[in-house]
Structures are given as structure tokens and as C-alpha cells.
Amino acid sequence: MNIFLIIAVGLLPSLFSLWMIRKSHMQRERLLRQAAMSPRTQLGQSRLNLSDRYYLEGVGYLIGDISCRYNAKSGYVRCAVNPSGPCEGCRYYEPREFTTDNEKKV
């Protein structure tokens, strides 16, 4: 009888640990499912300033200052240095160098 008690007491911590791990995995999966099912506007669009967003023909919607060197040319991220913005007064702003067709041929 004592041997069964020793085995049971020895296995209880590992069984409790496995139960807690399973519970946390289930909670994480539930949260991921909720995030995947929610509309995109609730996830990231609420943080964006829609006045900073514009449509460029052939590219789509962009945000941020397109003349900046670090602009991501994306509708979701402004730039690599300051992704959430704002672009006005950004200390990392560097003007983009534009080349013409004549400069490329030389």
C-alpha cells in the first residue's frame, strides 16, 4: 500500500504540470482564433491616421511620406524606422534620391 502512495505522490506534480501546459495551449489557440476571426479594421487600421493614407495608381493604398528614403510603400507600415508614425517631424527623415532615365543610361 505504501508503494502505491509513493508512486501517486511522485506522479502528481508531473500530471499537474501537464494539465497546466494543456490549459495554456488551449487558451493561446482560443486567442489566436479570435484574432484571426476579427475584422482587419479592429486589428491594425484603428491605429492608422487615415488622412496620411492615399491611393497610388498601379501600386494601391500607401501611408506615410513617399519622398522619404525609408518609406515601406505599404498600406500597413509607414517605414522601417518609424512604422507607426507620424511622418511629420520624424527625425529619421531622409529625402529619396530620384534618378532620371538619362542618368541610368550613362
14-67: pLDDT as tens digits: 999 999 999 999 999 999 888 877 765 444 444 555 567 778 888 788 888 888
pLDDT for 30 equals 93
Euclidean distance between CA atoms 69 and 79, whole angstroms:
9
Which pTM does this prediction carry? 0.42
Over residues 5-22, mean pLDDT: 92
Q: Which residues contact 67 (CB under 8 A, 6 or more apart)?
A: 95, 96
State the pLDDT at residue 89.
Answer: 82
Name residues whose C-beta falls within 8 Å of residue 63's C-beta, 6 or more positions apart in sequence. Answer: 48, 49, 52, 53, 54, 74, 75, 76, 77, 78, 85
The residue whose grid cell reads 482560443 is 30
